[in-house]
C-alpha cells in the first residue's frame, strides 16, 4: 500500500509511524487516532489517483486542512489522511471581478494578505485564521465573526473543484454569480466535511476593503439591551456593522488570567461586554476631517455618547488606532485558548434566534447546575447572528456526564427553535446529537445521497451521519 501511494505522490510525501502520528491528534488534545498513512498530494490529479487507489484497496480516506477543527472530524484509525499542505497556492486574484482562485491548502490569513494587496478583503475571519485552510473551512461551512454582514463560507464561494468518491474530477470553478443549470453540487459539497468528496480548489468572492473601521468595546448590565443597540446602529450606519461579539465578565476575567500582560477593557467590571465593529466604504465616512477625526469613528463615538447619556450602556471605549483595535480583537479571538483553562470540557456550538440568546444562557446555566452541580462555563457569542459558544467545564471527566450535559443543552436549543451545530460542523463529536435531533426524513435523505455518491463508504466514514440503530 505504501509503495502504491508513494508511486503517486513520491516517497517523501508519504508519512507513516511516528511521522504520521501528529495527524492523529485532535487540536483539543482530547482525542487521538492512528492513521495508516498520510499522503501529501501536489495536484488535483494526484488526489484523483489516490482516491482511485483507495477504492481498489477499500481504504478509508480523510481529507484535512489546518487540522483546527473542534468536532473530531479530521482523525481516524487505519485511514489514509490526505493533507493539502502542498496544494496551498493562491492561483489568481482578479480585482475587477473581485474573485480569488485558490487551492484547498491555501491558508486563510494568506488569502487575506493577497486580497488586501489589491485593496480588497475576503471577509471570512476567525481565531484560527493563521492555520485554517480552504478545504477545511469549506468542508465545515465555517462562520466566524463577520457573518452578520457577509454571511457564512457558503455565501462567499462562487465555484469549487472536487474529486468525487470514485476518483472523478468535477470542475465547478465558475466565477458566475448566477447559474441555474441543475442541482448545485457546490453547496452539497460545502459543509459535507469530506464525506461526499474532496474539495481541491475554490473560487472565492472578494469584497471592497473598508476605508476605515470604527471599533469599540461597550459595557452594559443586561444582554437584553444589546440587540436593540445593534439594530439602531445598523439603521444609523446603513447596515455597516461587521461584527457584534458578546463576552461576559467571567470570560474577560479568564482571558486576563490566561494573559497577565493584557488588561481589562474597562476600569470597572461589567456583566456584559460587547465588541462592535463598523466597516465604512464611502470617502465621506473614511477620510479624516480638518480636526484629524475619521468621520465613521466620530459618528460611533457620538452614538455611544448618546447611549451613555440615556443610561442604555454603562461604559464605552472606541479604538483610536490599529493597535487598540487589534487588542480588542485579540481578547475575542482567544476563546479557544480560554476554553483550554480546564483540562476537559463539553463544547456546545449552537445557534438560537437573536432575541433568545439571553433566554438560552439563563436556562442553560440553570440546567447545568441540575445535571452537574459545581460545573462551570466559558461563553462567548457572535451575538449578531445568534451563534453561542457555550463551553461547559464538568466536575469530572466522564463520558456519560458529558453526553448528559450536551443533551440538556440541546433540549433548550431545540425548544427555542435553534440548532445544535452552528459553525463547527458535526464530525464525530455530535453524532449523538444528529441521531437525537435531526429530522428523520432529512437524515434518510442524507444517507441516500451518501450511499449514491460513496457506496463503499470510504470518504471520512463515521462522520456527520449517525449509524442506523438495530
288-303 tens-digit pLDDT: 988 888 999 999 999 9
Which pLDDT belongs to residue 376? 95
**DSSP E strands, 67-156:** 80-83, 90-94, 99-103, 120-121
Which of 1.10.10.10, 3.40.50.740, 3.30.465.10, 3.30.70.1450 is the CATH number of 90-208? 3.30.465.10
The segment(s) of the chain belonging to CATH 3.30.70.2740 are 342-434
Q: Containing H/E element for 109? A: helix 108-116
Whether residue 243 contacts residue 275, with contact meaning beta carbons closer than 8 Å, is answered with yes
How many CB atoms lie under 10 A from the CB of residue 212?
A: 18
Ranges of CATH 3.30.70.2190 domains, the chain: 212-335
What confidence category does residue 30 fall into, taking pLDDT thresholds of 50, 70 and 90? confident
Long-range contacts of 224-233 (CB under 8 A, 24+ apart): 224/358, 225/272, 225/312, 225/313, 226/272, 226/274, 226/383, 227/354, 227/355, 227/357, 227/383, 228/312, 229/274, 229/307, 229/312, 229/313, 230/276, 230/383, 230/384, 232/303, 233/276, 233/278, 233/300, 233/303
Which of the 8 DSSP states describes residue 469? P
The ranges of the chain annotated as CATH 3.30.43.10 are 2-83
pLDDT in tens, 208-254: 999 999 999 999 999 999 999 999 999 999 999 999 999 999 999 99
pLDDT tens, residue by residue, 252-266: 999 999 988 888 999
For 404-415, write each residue's pLDDT tens digit. 999 999 999 999
Strands 80-83 and 61-64: parallel
What's the pLDDT at 29?
Answer: 75
Residue 394 contacts residue 405 (beta carbons within 8 Å)? yes
Domain 212-335 has CATH 1.10.3470.10: no
Q: Where in the chain is the domain with CATH 3.30.465.10?
A: 90-208
- Check residue 249 and give its pLDDT: 96
CATH class of 2-83: alpha beta
- Where does 342-434 sit in CATH, by number? 3.30.70.2740
Cell, residue 163:
474529486
Report residue 470's pLDDT band, with 50, 70 and 90 as the boundaries.
low
What is the pTM for the complete model shown?
0.93
Amino acid at each position: 500500500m505504501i509503495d502504491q501511494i508513494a508511486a503517486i505522490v513520491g516517497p517523501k510525501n508519504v508519512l507513516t509511524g511516528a511521522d504520521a502520528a501528529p495527524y492523529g491528534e485532535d487540536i483539543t488534545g482530547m482525542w487521538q487516532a492512528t492513521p495508516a498513512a498520510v499522503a501529501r498530494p501536489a495536484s488535483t490529479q494526484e488526489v484523483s489517483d489516490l482516491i482511485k487507489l483507495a477504492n481498489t484497496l477499500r481504504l478509508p480516506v480523510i481529507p484535512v486542512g489546518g487540522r483546527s477543527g473542534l468536532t473530531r472530524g479530521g482523525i481516524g484509525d487505519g485511514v489514509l489522511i490526505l493533507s493539502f499542505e502542498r496544494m496551498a497556492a493562491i492561483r489568481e486574484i482578479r480585482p475587477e471581478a473581485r474573485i480569488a482562485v485558490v487551492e484547498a491548502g491555501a491558508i486563510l490569513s494568506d488569502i487575506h494578505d493577497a486580497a488586501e494587496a489589491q485593496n480588497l478583503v475576503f471577509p471570512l475571519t476567525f481565531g484560527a485564521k493563521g492555520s485554517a485552510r480552504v478545504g477545511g473551512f469549506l468542508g465545515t461551512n465555517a462562520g466566524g465573526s463577520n457573518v452578520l454582514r457577509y454571511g457564512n463560507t457558503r455565501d462567499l464561494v462562487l465555484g469549487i473543484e472536487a474529486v468525487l468518491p470514485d476518483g472523478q474530477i468535477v470542475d465547478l470553478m465558475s466565477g458566475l454569480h448566477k447559474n441555474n443549470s441543475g442541482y448545485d453540487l457546490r453547496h452539497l459539497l460545502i459543509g459535507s466535511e469530506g464525506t461526499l468528496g474532496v474539495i481541491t480548489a475554490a473560487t472565492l468572492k472578494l469584497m471592497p476593503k473598508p476605508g476605515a473601521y470604527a471599533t469599540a468595546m461597550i459595557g452594559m448590565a443586561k444582554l437584553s439591551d444589546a440587540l436593540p443597540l445593534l439594530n439602531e446602529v445598523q439603521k444609523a450606519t446603513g447596515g455597516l456593522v461587521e461584527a457584534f461579539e458578546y463576552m461576559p465578565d467571567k470570560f474577560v476575567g479568564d482571558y486576563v488570567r490566561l494573559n497577565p500582560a493584557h488588561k481589562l477593557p474597562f476600569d470597572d467590571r461589567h456583566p456584559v461586554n460587547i465588541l462592535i465593529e463598523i466597516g465604512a466604504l464611502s470617502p465621506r465616512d473614511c477620510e479624516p476631517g480638518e480636526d484629524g477625526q475619521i468621520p465613521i469613528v466620530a459618528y460611533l463615538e457620538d452614538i455611544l455618547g448618546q447611549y451613555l447619556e440615556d443610561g442604555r450602556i454603562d461604559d464605552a471605549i472606541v479604538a483610536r488606532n490599529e493597535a487598540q483595535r487589534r487588542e480588542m480583537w485579540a481578547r475575542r479571538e482567544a476563546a479557544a485558548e480560554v476554553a483550554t483553562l480546564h483540562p476537559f470540557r463539553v463544547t456546545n456550538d449552537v445557534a438560537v434566534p437573536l432575541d433568545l440568546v439571553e433566554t438560552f444562557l439563563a436556562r442553560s446555566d440553570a440546567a447545568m447546575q441540575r445535571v452537574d452541580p459545581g460545573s462551570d462555563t466559558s461563553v462567548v457569542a457572535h451575538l449578531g447572528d445568534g451563534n453561542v459558544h457555550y463551553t461547559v467545564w464538568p466536575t469530572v471527566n466522564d463520558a456519560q456526564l458529558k453526553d448528559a450535559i450536551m443533551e440538556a443543552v440541546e433540549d433548550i436549543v431545540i425548544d427555542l427553535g435553534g440548532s445544535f451545530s452552528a459553525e463547527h460542523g458535526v464530525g464525530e463529536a455530535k453524532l449523538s446529537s444528529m441521531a437525537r435531533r435531526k429530522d428523520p426524513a432529512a437524515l434518510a435523505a442524507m444517507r441516500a445521497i451518501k450511499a449514491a455518491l460513496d457506496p463503499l463508504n470510504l470518504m471520512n466514514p463515521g462522520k456527520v451521519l449517525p449509524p442506523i440503530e438495530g
